[in-house]
Amino acid sequence: MDREMYMRYRSRHVNYEPWIKVPPAEQLDTIIVMPVYAEENITIALESLACCDRDGHVIEVLVVVNDREDEVPEVRDLNRSTEEEVVQCQMDLSASNFQIHLISARSLPSRKAGVGLARKIGMDEALHRFHLVKGKGLIINFDADCTCDGNFMQAIHRYFDRHPEHWAAGIYFEHDLEGLENDLMQAIMRYEMHLRYFIYIQRQAGLPFAYHTVGSSMAVTSEGYMRMGGMNTRQAGEDFHFLQKFIAADHFGEIPETTVHPSARPSFRVPFGTGKAVDNILSGQPQLTCAPQSFYDLSPLIRAVHDGFADTLDTSKLSEPLSIYLDKIAFHERIRKLAGQTGSMKSFQKRFFQWFNALQVIKYVHHCRDWYPDRPVQLVVREQYRLIHGNDPMDEHAMLDWLRREDRMSMGSSAE
């Protein structure tokens, strides 16, 4: 590890002392960061990681138990029990090449406390431990309600060995549906369909940076983490904003050869995401998703950029919602500026999609709701399935399976 780069990162981005006093093994090359807040059973997640084929790698798991200074007593009690559980897992699961460490990040400042700060504490500590052994390695994020396939470590290391140009990657995921009651199963299936459909329709429109950004299934190299300024402290959406930095710099990829299995439980932990969405659906709210027409309208613009005609595009001939949105964001002025700053079509296209990025796409889709309201996801995906296959799917399981296959195939092609 570049000592000067590390010291510069630490002086700019870290304002707390190292948490773990036990020195790391000299061969340490993998650190898994697990933020924990108000969990009831993290042993399952730790056992899943402990059972992975380590393939010669030396692994640490940093369990970041966190809460806020004004935390409610129920959460404090759960976190206290979790810390006891971690100590038991240290005794039961540790081996010479697999160590579990507890970071007790309790009573954090309320205005900052949340999953972003918890991830940052763990990832900064991982960076410090690599610095101690003068090495570098992988920092993997994994949540306390997840399990993983047995080849989890192997697949991630193999990917980064094959793609040294990538500093971060998303790992394929599927919510665990086994043993769920019908209502909960339908809720998580519809939410996962929404996630996958939103990526699918972006790819159909020709957008190059349509990626899942899921905190519980992402990995980053230690040096890449430093170069991109580390994790943010957002209380939700921290994963999206963190990975967008790597995507914009063209240092991001996807790993389809293994699977993370997040749980399907309802949750109060964050204002959006899986747990909140499941809770909303179970309470009677439909899982809505964007109308595909928003992306059908976008396709001519994306083709013009890919074909080199963005500077001569007559936006008045595009759909009304898109034309209005492009005027709103000063499209032609931006195109002239980009054209003046780039010397080739390839560099122009790269700069264009750094500007018209995932966040811009989300803003555009929200703008289009005045023309194309969101609709129940099961209806939208059924129409897309029929369009592709020429017949109706048997049920929602078939619809989700189709989107999962599409996702994994797209991830596989991007990883080649």
Say what the pLDDT of residue 268 is. 53
Residue 217 token pair = 């299934």
**What distance in Å separates the CA atoms of residue 103 and residue 125, rounded to the nearest whole number?**
9
Give residue for tokens 């995401």.
273
Tell me if 146 sits within 8 A of 216, measured CB to CB. yes
| Length reported for the chain | 416
Give 390's contacts (C-beta < 8 A, 6+ positions apart): none
Per-residue pLDDT of 275-304, as tens digits, reads 788 888 888 899 999 999 999 999 999 999
Mean pLDDT of 336-349: 91
Mean pLDDT of 115-130: 97
User: Residue 413 above 70 pLDDT?
Assistant: no
Give residue for tokens 């630490």.
10
Domains and CATH numbers, the chain: 3-284 (3.90.550.10), 293-368 (no CATH)
- Predicted confidence band of residue 135 (pLDDT cuts 50, 70, 90): confident
**What distance in Å separates the CA atoms of residue 66 and residue 368, rounded to the nearest whole number?**
39
Give residue for tokens 């964050």.
270
Amino acid identity of residue 118, one-letter, is A
Residue 151 token pair = 């080849």
Per-residue pLDDT of 188-205, as tens digits, reads 999 999 999 999 999 999
Please, how many CA atoms are within 13 Å of residue 367, restricted to the half-sphere of its CB? Answer: 21
Say what the pLDDT of residue 319 is. 96
User: Residue 266 above 80 pLDDT?
Assistant: no
- Predicted confidence band of residue 359 (pLDDT cuts 50, 70, 90): very high
Q: What is the pTM of this model?
A: 0.94
> For all residues of the chain together, what is the average pLDDT?
94
**What distance in Å separates the CA atoms of residue 116 and residue 112, rounded to the nearest whole number?**
8
Alpha helices by DSSP H, listed for 168-237, are 182-204, 222-227
